[in-house]
Each structure stands twice: as C-alpha cells, then as structure tokens.
C-alpha cells in the first residue's frame, strides 16, 4: 500500500546519480555510526512525510480525501482527477509563467546592478566611496516589510499598481548582495586586471571579460539566492497585484483556497504542482544551490 505512494520519490531518488558517499577514516559499522544513521533516517522520513502525505492526498478522489481515512491510497484507488481539474482551469499555467519570468527578471536586474556597483566599490577610486559603502551596508538591516506602505504610495504615483514593473522593481535592491560580490571581487588578484589595462582595455571591458568570468561561482550563488526569494515572495506581490492574470503562483494559489472550499485533493494537487518546479531545479542544481545558500547566507553578516 504505502510502497505505491512512495514510488514517485523513489523514482526521483534513483534517477539522479549518487554524487558522494565519502567515508572518513572511521569504522564503517561502529555502533555510534549505526545510531547516527538511524536517527538521520528517522529525521529524513519525518521531514519528507508532510510532503509525501500531500502527494498521496492529491492522488485520491475527493470523497476518499474527505473521509479522513489515514491510509496512503484511497479506497477508490489512485486517480489523477485532482490534477486534471486544476490544470484544466488554466490559471495555474499563467501564474507559474508569471512567477518564472518575474523571478528571472528580478534575478537578472539585481545581479547586473549589484555586480556593477560591487566592482566600483572593490576596484575604483572615487570621492565618497567609504561613506557610501557604509550607508549601503547599514541598509541591509532595513526589513522590506517596513517599506510596504510608502512603496505602495510610490507605485500609485508611478501608476505601477497591477503591473509587472510594480511587481519587479521594488525587489531589485539587494545591498547584501553588493557586499557579498564586493568581497569576492576583492579577492581576485589585481594583476589579472593590470595586464588587461596595459593593453588599453576599458574598465567595462575588464569587468566583462576578466572579472565576470572569474566570478561565475559567486554569481551563480547570488542568482540562486535571489531567484528563490523572488519566486517565493508573497507579501509584496500580494499587495501590488490584484489582477488575476498578473498574479504570481504564491499569490494566485492563495486566492483559490477559499474558492475550492473543502476540495482537499484539489488543493493538495495544486500545492504539489506549485512545488514541482523548484524541486526539479533543486534535483538538477543541488550542489550549486547548497553552496550558494551557504555563501550568500554567511555573506549577509
């Protein structure tokens, strides 16, 4: 019974090649190691269960889901009815597409403007460099939630309520990312740039063809971090977008919960569908994401 519901994840597990199972120089089967393994396994199961239960519910019929029967498969057998019901409404595609491209736009703009500024702070000499950097560093502590009222006013003034620009632009200022990128640029040997300067390359050219290629790992880290945050952002898109066709996935899904009432299987199918893109991205880019979160998370100090 339970094996059938577990198959999707098992398939996923076997689909990706095992990356590492390194064993440091300890006894492979010491009692402590076995205990550690069991505790880890229990924790992992505990952490996967809520999501697996959502997946199991999504494959039930509505009456089976509403019956409160705790088995993994409903008495009427598994069905994809809930998924077809959700997908036939069309809005989910629109919202997923909106989420995808607005998050990509936020990521691209944030990365571009932050990297340019970080390069200036790292390599160029200009009046007021120090205090400007201090101001930007200090602004890291400002929680975006504090700004929702004045930003909303601003969007009203700019006529950007219910527009993609109103959704994207207020999300592109990321002082922490400037700081992280500056620290990385600082560590690049200056000699590499000097060689290009002797050849008469402009600053922009050096930035583009010397600094950026060397910074790929940090750029990927920052991009991943910004993308996840933008993809999952709820409060601002929720405030600035009222038009159903412009909504992002988190906001759009939230509006239909009440509309569905007690259709548990459909709500779960919808949650699973919304979760899928980022899970797939994680399965593909696990290494980079793990590294990126660690770098950007720690850089935020």
Partner 1 sequence: MMTAATDSTRTIVTGSRTAAPARRAGSRSREQLVSWAFLAPFLIAFALFLVWPIIHGIVLSFTDASLTGAGGGFVGFANYAEALSDPVMWRSLWNTIWFTLLSTVPLVVIALLMAALVDRGLPGQWLWRLSFFMPYLLASTVISQIWVWIFNPQIGAANNILKAFGLEPLAWLQNPETNMLSIVIATVWWTVGFNFLLYLAAMQNIPPQQYEAASLDGAGAWRQFWSITLPQLGPATVLILLLQILASLKLFDQAYQMLGGVASDTTRSIVQYIYEAGFVSYRFGYSAAISYVFFALIVIVGVAQALVTRRRKEQL
Residues 61-80 that bind partner 1 (CB under 8 A): 66-68, 70
* Of 144, 82, 103, residue with least CA distance to 269: 82
Q: 87, 91, 162, 300: which one contacts partner 1 (CB under 8 A)?
A: 300
Q: Let me know: does 133 contact 124? Beta carbons within 8 Å.
A: no
How far are the Cα atoms of 23, 114, 219 from residue 172, in angstroms, in the given order?
A: 42, 9, 15
Q: Let me know: does 237 contact 152? Beta carbons within 8 Å.
A: no
Nearest approach in angstroms of CB 176 to partner 1 is: 11
Q: Let me know: does 204 contact 265? Beta carbons within 8 Å.
A: no
Q: 107, 170, 223, 263: which one contacts partner 1 (CB under 8 A)?
A: 170
Q: Is 189 exposed, middle or buried (0-12, 13-18, 19+ CB in 10 A)?
A: exposed
Q: 105, 169, 219, 226: which one contacts partner 1 (CB under 8 A)?
A: 169
Decide whether 38 or 80 has the Cβ nearer to partner 1: 38
Residue 223 touching partner 1 (CB under 8 A): no
Q: 5, 114, 215, 263: which one contacts partner 1 (CB under 8 A)?
A: 114
Decide whether 77 or 297 has the Cβ nearer to partner 1: 297
Measured on CA atoms in the order 18, 20, 24, 30, is the torsion positive or negative?
A: negative
Residue 217 touching partner 1 (CB under 8 A): no
* Contacts to partner 1 from residues 237-266, by CB under 8 A: 239, 249-251, 253-254, 257-258, 264
- Cβ atoms within 10 Å, residue 148: 16
Q: Let me know: does 51 contact 275? Beta carbons within 8 Å.
A: yes
Residue 294 touching partner 1 (CB under 8 A): yes
Decide whether 91 or 154 has the Cβ nearer to partner 1: 154
Decide whether 126 or 213 has the Cβ nearer to partner 1: 126
Residue 163 touching partner 1 (CB under 8 A): no
Decide whether 169 or 246 has the Cβ nearer to partner 1: 169
How far are the Cα atoms of 43, 139, 233, 242 from residue 142, in angstroms, in the given order?
A: 35, 5, 17, 26
Residue 195 touching partner 1 (CB under 8 A): no
300 DSSP 8-state letter: T
Cβ-based neighbours of 61, under 8 Å, separated by 6 or more: 74, 76, 79, 81, 265
3-class DSSP state of 85: helix
Q: 212, 282, 285, 288: which one contacts partner 1 (CB under 8 A)?
A: 282
Residue 173 touching partner 1 (CB under 8 A): yes
* Contacts to partner 1 from residues 15-54, by CB under 8 A: 16, 18-26, 30, 32-33, 36-37, 39-40, 43-45, 47-48, 50-51, 53-54
* Contacts to partner 1 from residues 126-155, by CB under 8 A: 126-127, 129, 132-133, 136, 139, 141-143, 145-154
Q: What is the largest CA-CA distance in the chain?
A: 76
């Amino acid at each position: 019974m339970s094996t059938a519901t577990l198959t999707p994840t098992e398939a996923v597990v076997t689909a990706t090649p095992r990356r590492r199972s390194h064993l440091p120089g300890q006894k492979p089967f010491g009692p402590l190691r076995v205990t550690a393994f069991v505790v880890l396994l229990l924790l992992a199961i505990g952490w996967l269960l809520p999501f697996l239960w959502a997946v199991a519910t999504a494959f039930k019929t509505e009456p089976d889901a509403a019956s409160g029967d705790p088995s993994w498969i409903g008495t009427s057998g598994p069905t994809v009815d809930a998924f077809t019901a959700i997908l036939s409404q069309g809005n989910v595609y629109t919202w997923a597409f909106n989420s995808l491209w607005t998050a990509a736009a936020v990521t691209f703009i944030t990365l571009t403007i932050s990297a340019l500024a970080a390069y200036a702070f790292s390599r160029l000499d200009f009046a007021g460099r120090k205090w400007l950097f201090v101001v930007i560093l200090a602004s890291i502590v400002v929680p975006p939630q504090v700004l929702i009222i004045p930003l909303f006013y601003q969007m009203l003034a700019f006529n950007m309520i219910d527009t993609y620009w109103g959704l994207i632009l207020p999300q592109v200022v990321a002082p922490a990312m400037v700081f992280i990128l500056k620290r990385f640029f600082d560590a690049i040997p200056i000699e590499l740039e000097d060689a290009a300067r002797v050849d008469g390359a402009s600053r922009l050219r050096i930035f583009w063809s010397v600094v950026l290629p060397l910074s790929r790992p940090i750029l990927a880290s920052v991009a991943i971090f910004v993308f996840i945050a933008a993809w999952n952002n709820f409060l601002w898109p929720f405030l600035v977008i009222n038009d159903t066709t412009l909504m992002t996935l988190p906001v759009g899904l939230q509006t239909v919960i009440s509309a569905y009432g007690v259709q548990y299987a459909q709500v779960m199918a919808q949650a699973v569908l919304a979760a899928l893109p980022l899970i797939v991205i994680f399965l593909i880019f696990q290494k980079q994401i793990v590294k990126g979160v660690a770098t950007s998370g720690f850089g935020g100090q």
